[in-house]
Structures are given as structure tokens and as C-alpha cells.
Amino acid sequence: MVKQSSSQTSVAVTEQTHKCSSSCLGPLTFHNRAVGDMVRLSQGCRLAERNDTTFKNGLVFSSRPLKAQEKVRLRVERDSHRWQGTVRLGFTNVPPSARSLPLPCLAIPDLSDSPGHWMAPVHESYCQPGSVLEFWVSGGGSVYVTNDRSRRQKKLLSGVDLSKPLWAVIDIYGQTCSVFLLGSEKKALISTSRSCPAPEPLTSSDIDNIHSWISTVSKLCEDSEDRVSDLDRDVTADKHWGLKRMIGMRKLLVHFSVPSIDIFRDEFHFY
């Protein structure tokens, strides 16, 4: 199995629960562990590339379960005409994290012949490089696919069991060598919910920058406290001086019986 680096591995979590808003479906990536032997994941576990020296061992799964009518968007990045056939799509109620490695070589028939898997091939006219596929399972248990070029909705299969959580399955098969997971969306009557990008991991450089920032802010806070303390002392001294001056002038005014209000206004700019 072609594995990603440890820093990439930390990007995707098996079960993403983060949500950034009420209309967010949560992050959606490829599962970072359950990948075919010839698959390499990158770009936050959203780009999956199969070695084009073979047409098989290209299985990948979604990082979390999907809802009925949640449309997964997948862009075909690269193909190879050395092989026949194209990507296979479907769903499974077997969690990716529960799978033993290595994974089966093929979605059809290796997965499709086992319980809890529903897989179908996609016609090559849908899978040209640059094409964006959308596939989903309906509320009635049927799987559909469409692409951005024809917008024709094609039924791939039916009979999916909706009583258990479902993960998407993509077999990067045959001519299809690379796919990019764009996310997902689920339309309601008056609103649309969408997946969000998975949180990026902190690198060692990020952590160093955070520590430096915290140190700088702490120093600024200490300096500010010292300056405020000095300012308080200065203001207090000014207040005492002003008060003494005011009392002294009042005594003089009382002594000479001079109306004081106008003088106080002019002297202390008090209106």
C-alpha cells in the first residue's frame, strides 16, 4: 500500500464530527487508513492517485458516513488509455476503520459479492479528465450519478440498505488514475447544507509561530500594565495637585468675597 507521510496522515480523522455552522455537513475527505495498495493520498486526503502501472488496487472510502440525498462531488483528474473501464462507485455499511489490510483488489466483484456493499461501474463518457461527478443514494435506496457536462441523471443500482450508516466507496479503476474529492451537498426545500474542508494539521513551524506570538503578546501585556500603572500614578498626582489648587483658590475667593463660578470655569475649563 502506498502510504502518505505522517504529517498527511494526521489530516483526516476516521470519524469527523466538527461542524462550522448549522448548515454544515461536517468535513469530508477520503479515509486515511482504508486505501488500496496502489493508492497515494495527498492534499489533505482529498486527492487520491492510483499508480498507472496497474488498473486495480485503487479502493478508497469516505472518511465519514453519508446521509441519504447527500451528493458527493468528485472530479476526475487524470486517466490512462493503457487500460479499459473507468471508476466504480457505490456505498457500504461496513466501516472503513473495521477493514483489515490489504484491501481487496477490486470493488467488482470482490466487494460487490460480499454483504453490505453496493457497487456499480460508471460509463467512460462520464469520466473524462476534468469532469465533475455527483453520486448519491436516494431515500428509496437507489444510487444515482450525474456529471457537470451532460447533467443527465443515471441510475446505477437499487436495493441499498438505509437502516445502517453508509460510507461512500470509490474504486479508482482502469483508465481512471486520479480523483479529487470536492465535497458534498444536501438540498432541502429552502436551504442547502454542504460539507466543509477538514481542519488542516498544525505543523512544527505553526507551533513555533504560535509560541512566539504568545510570548510577544504576554510581553506587550506586561508593558501595558506597567504603563497603565505609571499613568495612574501620574493622573493621581495631577488630581491631588489640581484639587489643592482649587481649594486654595476657593479660600481666596471667599476671603475677598468674589463670585467664584466664572473664575472656576476659566481656570479649569469646566462647563
> Average pLDDT in the 36-42 region?
97
User: Taking Cα atoms as reference points, which of 166, 156, 58, 69 lies closest to residue 117?
Assistant: 166
- Angle value at C-alpha 115, between 111 and 120, nearest 5 degrees: 45
Q: Residue 171 pairs with which residues in a beta bridge?
A: 59, 88
CB 136 within 8 A of CB 129: no
Q: Extract the C-alpha cell encoding 7.
A: 504529517
> How far apart (Å, rounded) are the C-alpha atoms in residues 147 and 73?
9
pLDDT tens, position by position, 206-235: 666 666 777 776 777 666 556 655 555 554
Does position 271 have pLDDT exceeding 50, yes or no?
Answer: no
pLDDT, mean over the chain: 81
What is the band of 17 on the pLDDT scale with cuts at 50, 70, 90? low
CATH (residue range 6-199) = 2.60.120.920
> How far apart (Å, rounded) are the C-alpha atoms in residues 41 and 39?
7
Residue type, 49: E
Burial 170-195 (b: 16+ CB within 10 A, else e): bbbbbbbbbbbbbbbbbeeeeeebbb
Q: Extract the C-alpha cell encoding 255.
A: 476671603
Pairing status of strand 24-27 against strand 192-196: parallel
Does position 256 have pLDDT exceeding 80, yes or no?
Answer: no
- What's the 3-state SS for 50-76? ECCCCCCCCEEEECCCECCCCEEEEEE
Q: Extract the C-alpha cell encoding 63.
A: 472518511
CB 259 within 8 A of CB 249: no
> Is residue 91 within a helix (H) or strand (E), and if so which, with residue range?
strand 88-92
> How far apart (Å, rounded) are the C-alpha atoms in residues 118 and 92?
6
| Residues above pLDDT 90, as percent of the chain | 57
Indicate the pTM of the whole model.
0.69
Q: Rounded to an integer, what is the distance from CA 162 to the centroid of its chain?
A: 26
What is the band of 152 on the pLDDT scale with cuts at 50, 70, 90? confident
Q: At what angle do helices 204-256 and 261-268 cross, to 10 degrees?
A: 150
What is the band of 93 on the pLDDT scale with cuts at 50, 70, 90? very high
> Average pLDDT in the 127-143 region?
96
The sign of the torsion formed by the CA atoms of 41, 46, 47, 48 equals positive
> Average pLDDT in the 196-201 region?
66
> Average pLDDT in the 27-51 region?
96
| CB count in 10 Å sphere of residue 248 | 10
What is the band of 45 on the pLDDT scale with cuts at 50, 70, 90? very high
What is the band of 247 on the pLDDT scale with cuts at 50, 70, 90? low
pLDDT value at residue 50: 97
CB 154 within 8 A of CB 53: no
Does position 85 have pLDDT exceeding 80, yes or no?
Answer: yes
pLDDT value at residue 264: 42
Query: What count of residues does the chain have?
Result: 271
> Average pLDDT in the 23-49 region?
95
